[in-house]
Amino acid sequence: MSEIDILSFGETMAMFVAEEPGDLASITRFHKRIAGADSNVAIGLSRLGFKVAWLSRVGADSLGRFVIDTLEKEGLDCRHVDIDIAHPTGFQLKSRTEDGSDPVVEYFRRGSAASHLSPQSIVPQLLNARHLHATGIPAALSASARQLSLELMTRMRDAGRSVSFDPNLRPSLWASTQQMVTETNRLAALAHWVLPGLSEGQLLTGFEDPADIAAFYLDQGVEAVAIKLGPHGAYYRTHQDQGFVAGVPVQAVVDTVGAGDGFAVGMISALLENHSFAEAVKRANWVGSRAVQSRGDMEGLPTRAEMSAELEAANASGLAPTQDRVPTQMPCGSEPARDKA
């Protein structure tokens, strides 16, 4: 049996978060955290008790040491994080918002150590993982990182492992929109479970309706699709079933960054525990709703004990999300493609 439940890969950056609202140019006080959609999901799954291996590169610098130390404290296996003596660890600045709006994020990642990921980073031990989670971000970083994504997803699927994919579109990292669409769909077709936001799915497929977006990927061999509809919830479709699962109401939105990563954590964890796809979407909505109520990209991701206790309380109070197996009207809403550089 594999010692690794889940393999995740990509770029973790250092993040400097403003301690007060305002233009980043005028802020003088920041605190340091880590950021990265791929590692957010890895951390969330680790908190739920899965053994997660992290494949990446960081610079031979203080930010790289900070990234590895933080990930290891979250329980990730970082033995396959390479130290790059020639290229730096990427970082970002993030504004503080008080009204629930999206924060401003400025990225300093071009030419980073992680952009030099390549298929040479793959070692046989990693391919023994039960599951691979991938996003479209590494593929946008460079040609070599894109080749790593293709090879990992192909080899894991060929080996009979389950593969999940979140497009996580980053338009500014691609040479053109057409390249982004072509390459992202190429990766999506290698996955079993595809998890786009509505606006992402519309851009990638050319269809407006969630059912048509899902059918586009199912026709390419994907087993199931869950489309995030923001606060409204999510639509899902498999070859046997389809439905809409309502979102989980929240008292206040503190930070929208990381909601989609929380959704992926809920989906993947539930499916690996053999829950139905509809039940997985319920958990995904709940984890996503929890993520937006905490400041930071991954601070709101729950532990196993927190999830069990809070979901039990929600079920007891009747506040758990409900599901319609065949939706009569599709709600509007989307998770916008965030433009990261």
Catalytic residue numbers?
A: 261
User: Which residue's structure tokens are 């989609």?
Assistant: 260
In 159-291, which residue ranges form alpha helices assigned H by DSSP?
177-188, 198-205, 210-218, 259-272, 277-291
How many other C-beta atoms lie within 10 A of the C-beta of residue 101?
A: 11
Burial class (CB in 10 A: 0-12, 13-18, 19+), 8: buried
3-class state of residue 153 by DSSP = helix
Cβ atoms of 33 and 15 closer than 8 Å: yes
Tell me what pLDDT residue 340 has.
Answer: 43
Cβ atoms of 194 and 173 closer than 8 Å: no
User: Which residue's structure tokens are 């799915």?
Assistant: 201
Strands of 195-276 (E only): list them: 224-228, 233-238, 242-246
- Nearest-5° angle of CA 267, CA 171, CA 92? 80
Cβ atoms of 63 and 91 closer than 8 Å: yes
- C-alpha span between 125 and 142 (Å, rounded): 24
Tell me what pLDDT residue 45 has.
Answer: 97
Cα radius of gyration (the chain): 19
Contacts of 127 (CB under 8 A, 6+ apart): 155, 156, 159, 161
**What residue ranges define each of the domains in the chain, with the CATH number in brackets?**
6-10+39-59+114-324 (3.40.1190.20)
Which tokens sit at 174?
A: 């691609």
Tell me what pLDDT residue 9 has.
Answer: 98
Task: Going residue by residue through the chain, which has 341 residues, state the pLDDT in tens, using 9 for 90 and above.
Answer: 468 999 999 999 999 999 999 999 999 999 999 999 999 999 999 999 999 999 999 999 999 999 999 999 999 999 999 999 999 999 999 998 877 678 888 999 999 999 999 999 999 999 999 999 999 999 999 999 999 999 999 999 999 999 999 999 999 999 999 999 999 999 999 999 999 999 999 999 999 999 999 999 999 999 999 999 988 999 999 999 999 999 887 776 765 667 889 999 999 999 999 999 999 999 999 888 876 766 666 777 888 998 888 877 766 665 555 445 444 333 333 444 444 44
- C-alpha span between 208 and 268 (Å, rounded): 26
Q: What is the DSSP letter of 256?
A: -
Identity of the residue numbered 230: G
